Every structure is written in C-alpha cells, then in structure tokens.
Amino acid sequence: MLQLTKPLILASNSPRRQQLLRDAGFEFSVRVKDTDEDFPSTMPPSEVPAFLAQKKAEAFRQDLDNQIILTADTIVVVDNEILNKPKDASEASMMLKKLSGRQHQVITGVCVMTKESTETFIDIANVFFRELTKQEIEYYIQTCKPFDKAGSYGVQDFIGMVGIPRMEGSYFTVMGLPVHRVYDALKPYFTIET
C-alpha cells in the first residue's frame, strides 16, 4: 500500500482516472468544482491541457489546507486542431472519420497542487488508427456513446481495441492519466509499505 503523508483529492469525475489511480495503489477522495474550460485561442494545442488542469486545481486554492489536489485534462489533436468532447452522434462520427487511417496526438496535462507548491506537466502519446468503416463508427457510437470523451473515443473501448494497431507513448496517457508521471510527482508525499 502507498502511505500518503497528506490526503489526496482527485478533482475529476472521470471513472477511468479514478480507476487508474486506485489501481496504482493510491487512496483518495473525489471532489469536483465546476470550472470553465476556456483557454486563449492563440494558445498552442500542446499547452492547453496543462493550462486547463492548473485552472481546475486553482479552483481549490483558497480551500487548501493539508491536502494534495490532483487534476488532469486530456485533448486529442489532429492537424493542429483540438477535437473536444462531441456534442452529439453526428459530431462524434465526423471526428472519428477525421481520425480514421491517420496518426494523431493525445496530450494529457496534469496539475499536482499543495499549499506550498504547484507542479504541472504534460505527457504526449502518438496514436495510429487504421481505416475505420462507416459501420464500425456507427456501431461504436451506438454501443459506447463516447460523448464524454475527447476525440469521441476511448482507447479501452471497442474502437480502440479493433482500430488502434499501435501507439507511441503511454496507454494510460491516452486513457486520461499518465500514471507513471503522476506517481513520480506524488513521490515526495508517500512511502511504500510492504
């Protein structure tokens, strides 16, 4: 078990992030504050996830006492365009057609904040999709309803299993939490008990 010296708060409703953090051996509570996810239109896509992760953490700053706040934000980028969460099935279909047969980037930004310090970082994975048929895309949208996912897909879902022959980088970054980097960032705050 990883024994934390301060209580850890994961500021994310994402069941995937919660599962990954749990599987990595961390005990934590979940608290979320509504934060607008606007960012400057001139900001390079690679800077957006860390900017948004820090924005989510800043919402907790005045309540911070002895806790660690962990926030994250994930984007999908193709042709320097950010694909956010789709509004509906037709937007999801459009995004998946754009990703079909191509490489894109998934960038997850993370912020670890305590009263004393703030650390933000990003982790990037290059993801390769094979050509997806119209039927595969429609089936995926109907069965998995990927409306809460950047780029309209989850790597752990049907479309990821059958459509992604390879990737460069961490699978967990694509899922929404680069666990290896989070582990390193939290190292000053825990001991490993055997």
Residues acting as catalytic residues: 73
Closest-CA residue to 133 (of 172, 106, 163): 163
| Residue 165 · residue 13 · CB < 8 Å | no
d(CA 116, CA 61): 11
Neighbours of 127 (CB within 10 A): 26
d(CA 159, CA 186): 32
Backbone angles phi, psi at 177, to 5 degrees: -155, 110
